[in-house]
Structure 1
């Protein structure tokens, strides 16, 4: 038994569901294929819930010797690594370090800006259509500092952002106490980034977007994306109901994208950053009004529908390695010293993986060696933020519309692929704006 569609989108996280919605809006018959029983159960579920409109500059690799020495000791809360994973991660980490130079960061910020600046507007449009506006509060987030040195650095970083028409309030200790009266003393100041949206149930938001996709006639099938294979004139993938054939295929598998593209002959300096979260009940009548990052402590607290979500920084490890929630163990006493957390609401922390590329930009566009194969992954810490705007850009390229921004910074070819005899690099680079085959 086989079925057919115009497009199969592999992966039903925020990136895949958003791409499916945008393609559907442009008249394509789209099927989402996902191994989980419903949308939004993977990386899209476990995050701080921020639609990070203010994050023009990327999360760069530290380059000063003091920070490098501190991280090398492997005792921090904001970063942790498995020594056994470092050889495999080396190609990614070396490139990540080089791209984190001051010039590199400025270049990356220019490339990321068109996506970041449209991220909130694209979410708001989908939220209105899916009836999920109540899942987002436009309260921004707060970054608190415990030392003059970290506060001074935060102020310098914020100054760079003020030229992008962003609202950023500088708070002293008293000002922070006014906005978050249940935080304990200890922070000397804070920055309130007012533009981002705060989502109270990220996984639930993806489910709402998927429900809109289904309501509009889309299909959701349980299947194994790793079975994707080329079958002229298109692609096929095995689902629980049999083979699904489609003219175009979109790889939107987040941290599992390499399971597909490597089989097809592509090699990327792809890296994984794992992260953990755990929900807590607040003690007494304590209320957290905004997501709050403890910049010196290396963790973030976010008010969610389920409770107060404590999220950790990055863990550099093999994707399938057993959980090592040492960052959570380090963060919990610090977080309880900042906000009155009661008992955890789960027995074990949740763990997920972030798909990362060393230039801190996603891959969005056509796969250069294959007709009808499209890529939308590598959003690092900003999958929730960039899912809808990435889906729009991809759908514009796939359907022959003029893209709202130049897609060149997001092409796979930037990593040095040289193309087979039957498709030159220049042809592959230009293919992103060609109409999809009819």
Structure 2
């Protein structure tokens, strides 16, 4: 099989890249070993985070670092056996999170994430997926007056990025979410983000849109990517597939792929877990709520999804459910959670760069392109990434400056 472009990875980023390329007249084959959206894209919190101008930084103050070092936080945990292999990445992550560096990262990031909702919107309409989308925003809830006050100050400072919010004190929060029993000081309601009630279904709807435009999804082994006579080739279920160009959009598996090709990048993973629950007493919650205790609850078609914070570990390490169990103990007495609905918890891995920005653009070898490293914002930035990369691949003027996302920043 020959085609113009092979897109390796059928998560939300890869499918979005494929859609934008086929819309520009390229013949595109999407390659994955499983179905669309069944990897990392399956298990996110369902947020299209227009407000997410400040990516998750590595804590800088000593009390926070000492707290995380105890390895009992619901927000962040690590696996001890992984530390020798991930310590370099963690050190680079910490270094990039210093105030002087982080300010510049936020300025870059804010220009990209400003297009999160506006780039999803046309694809949602074309894919007929409006029934999966909520437009009421989401909340960040705080348990102390001090943290709520700091959150209000930060939200007000983000108004310069064109962000709207509503500050809810404890009484207003109880009126908005009567099912919440936690003693909360207040919440920030971000009003512009959209939410997704089934992230897997959204990715699959985008896949059907891609296929309706003439694209193909083929089962294959992306790890077999090789250069053959000036073209890129991978092994598929029914033989080799060849293209003039290839896009690596393999999420947390991108690092393995690139190492096989001889390129080492400072890539890490943040693993996460989720579980669905029936609403207790048919009350539920009306929108996603992040609790500063270190977890997020989101109303999904399947039930209320509890998503954990980050776990720093090796990609293929066995699951460690301690973080999920700790979050569940707090959430069960604070929110209207009934019985578990899943036979076992889901685990996935977020692909991360130390400077918190994705890698989008040419890899350096002729015809090879990258779309990876989106960390917590793969769902959020999938369509925007697809448009930006397709602009570059088809020699059109990029809709934003791609320089901050170039792989050359790590050379």
Q: Does the alignment pair 1:383 with 2:381?
A: no
Name the residue aligned to 1:13.
Answer: 11
Contact 1:270-1:355 within 8 A present in 2 as well: yes
Distance in 2 (CA, whole Å) between partners of 1:129 and 1:211 is 10
Pairs within 5 Å for 1:231-242: 231-242=228-239
Query: Which residue is equivalent to 1:62?
Result: 59
Identify which of 157, 160, 163 aligns with 1:163.
Answer: 160
Which of 261, 285, 289 lines up with 1:264 in the alignment?
261
Q: Is contact 1:15-1:391 (8 Å) kept? A: yes
- With the length of structure 1 as denominator, give the TM-score of the two structures: 0.93
Equivalent of 1:324 in 312, 320, 344:
320
Matched residue, 1:427: none
Could you tell me which of 312, 320, 323 is aligned with 2:308?
A: 312
State the Cα deviation string for residues 39-93 of structure 1 (Å, max 9, x = none).
0001111011000000101101000000000000001111110111111111211
Moved over 6 A (4+): none
Q: Does 1:227 align with 2:215?
A: no
Partners of 1:299 and 1:41 lie apart in 2 by: 22
Once the two structures are superposed, residues 111-156 of structure 1 have per-residue CA deviations (whole angstroms, 9 ceiling, x without a partner) of 1122200110110110000000111111111111111222122123
Structure 2 equivalent of residue 294 of structure 1: 291
SS of 1:346's equivalent? coil
CA RMSD of aligned residues (A): 0.8
- Name the structure 1 match of 2:74: 77
Give the secondary-structure state (helix, strand or coil) at the position aligned to 2:44.
coil
**Alpha-carbon distance in structure 2 between the residues aligned to 1:342 and 1:385:** 29
**Contact 1:277–1:310 (8 Å) recurs in 2:** yes
The aligned counterpart of 2:347 is 351
Query: 2:147 — aligned with what?
Result: 150
Equivalent in the alignment of 2:192:
195
Tell me, yes or no, if the aligned pair for 2:371 and 2:389 is still in contact at 8 Å.
Answer: yes
What CA distance in whole angstroms lies between the structure 2 residues aligned with 1:185 and 1:335?
A: 9
Supply the distance in 2 between the matched residues of 1:49 and 1:116 (Cα, whole angstroms). Answer: 16
Instruction: Give distance in 2, aligned partners of 1:39 and 1:257.
Output: 16
Please say if residues 138 and 195 of structure 1, whose CA atoms lie closer than 8 Å, have aligned partners that are also in contact: yes
After superposition, the C-alpha distances for 1:8-59 in whole angstroms (9 at most, x for unaligned) are 00000000000000000000000000001x2000111101100000010110
C-alpha distance in 2 between matches for 1:353 and 1:153: 30
CA contact (8 A) 1:255 1:272 kept: yes
Judge conservation of contact 1:58–1:105 (CA < 8 Å) in 2: no
The aligned counterpart of 1:251 is 248
The question of whether the paired residues in 2 share the 8 Å contact of 1:124 and 1:133 is answered with no
Is the CA contact 2:110–2:161 (under 8 Å) kept in the aligned structure 1? no
Distance 1:372 1:387 in 2: 21
Please give the alpha-carbon distance, in whole angstroms, between the structure 2 residues aligned to 1:413 and 1:334: 43
Q: Using structure 2 for the length normalisation, give the TM-score.
A: 0.99
Name the structure 2 match of 1:420.
Answer: none
**Structure 2 SS opposite 1:255:** helix
Q: CA deviation at 1:260?
A: 1.4
- Does residue 35 in structure 1 map to residue 30 in structure 2? no
- 2:258 aligned with 1:275: no
SS at match of 1:319: coil
Provide the rounded CA distance (Å) in 2 between the counterparts of 1:99 and 1:31. Answer: 36
Structure 2 gaps, min length 5: none
Contact 1:50–1:199 under 8 Å retained in 2: yes
Quote the offset at 1:185 in angstroms. Answer: 4.1
Supply the distance in 1 between the matched residues of 2:95 and 2:242 (Cα, whole angstroms): 42
Counterparts of 1:413-428 in structure 2, within 5 Å, are 413-416=408-411
Partner Cα distance (1:17, 1:89) in 2: 29
Inter-partner Cα distance in structure 2 for 1:43 and 1:172: 35
Q: Matched residue pairs, number?
A: 411
In the aligned structure 2, how far is the partner of 1:26 from the partner of 1:178?
A: 48
- The one of 169, 173, 177 aligned to 1:176: 173
Alignment correspondent of 1:429: none
Q: Aligned to 1:184, what secondary structure does the other structure show?
A: coil
Instruction: Indicate yes or no: 2:140 matched with 1:140.
Output: no
Partner of 1:310: helix, strand, or coil? strand
Question: Which residue of 358, 365, 375 maps to 2:361?
Answer: 365
How far apart are the structure 2 equivalents of 1:114 and 1:391?
16
What is the distance in 2 between the residues matched to 1:293 and 1:208? Answer: 27
Report if aligned partners of 2:29, 2:215 keep a CA contact under 8 Å in 1.
Answer: yes
What is the rounded CA distance, in whole Å, between the counterparts of 2:191 and 2:175 in structure 1?
A: 15
